[in-house]
Amino acid sequence: MKDGCCAEASEMRSKSKTGNMNMATMYTTMESPVGRLLLAGDERALRRVNFADAGRSAGVQVGWVENAGAFAEVIRQLKAYFRGELQNFDLPLEMEGTEFQLRVWSALRKIPYGQTISYRELAERIGNVKAVRAVGLANGCNPIPIIVPCHRVIGSDGSLTGFGGGLENKRKLLDLECKEFRLL
């Protein structure tokens, strides 16, 4: 299922940016505290994390090859994150989107673990305070949630708003991160 603005960003192609048509998209799934996650990428980078049980999430595409071994490091880091042992991911990522989306996603990666910001503040950080709604749409199209922490963006009144994995999972991720700070 595709969501309007995310249609281009959500399609995984077996063709890389360098034009190599032979680079296969691989995938696997893993269980997590926020449900089953679908991981997809190629031999160079992780390209997608989907909440496999969320209704709006794209599933496995025709031509993808299941290969759990290719995601061993991604799974290791995600498990460490969920145990509260990892705050910053160190993985090769390849995100496809518009120039604006890429700027928003880059800014997301700079939000510190355990902290939240508003959509307005995110718009300010990318230098376009009037783009609050566009920032929200780009945030919602993030192809690599959790690792690129779109869950750390909340409403200006502190409310939880929109999250592809569901608001319950957004709360779980924020609680996980805040719990770590309460223990220090």
Which residues are catalytically annotated? 150
Is residue 50 within 8 Å of residue 35, measured between CB atoms? no
Instruction: Phi first, then psi: give them for residue 38, nearest 5 degrees.
Output: -100, 120
Question: Which amino acid appears at position 101 of this protein?
Answer: Q
Amino acid found at 66: E
Q: Which two tokens stand for residue 178?
A: 């805040």
b/e per residue 6-34 (b: at least 16 CB within 10 A): beebbebeeebeeeeeebebbbbbbebeb
The DSSP secondary-structure symbol of 14 reads S
What CA–CA distance (Å, rounded) separates 155 from 121?
Answer: 10
Residues 6+ apart with CB under 8 A from 4: none
Query: Under a CB-based contact definition with an 8 Å cutoff, are residues 104 and 153 in contact?
Result: no
Task: Report phi then psi at 142, rounded to 5.
Answer: -55, 120
DSSP state of 93: B
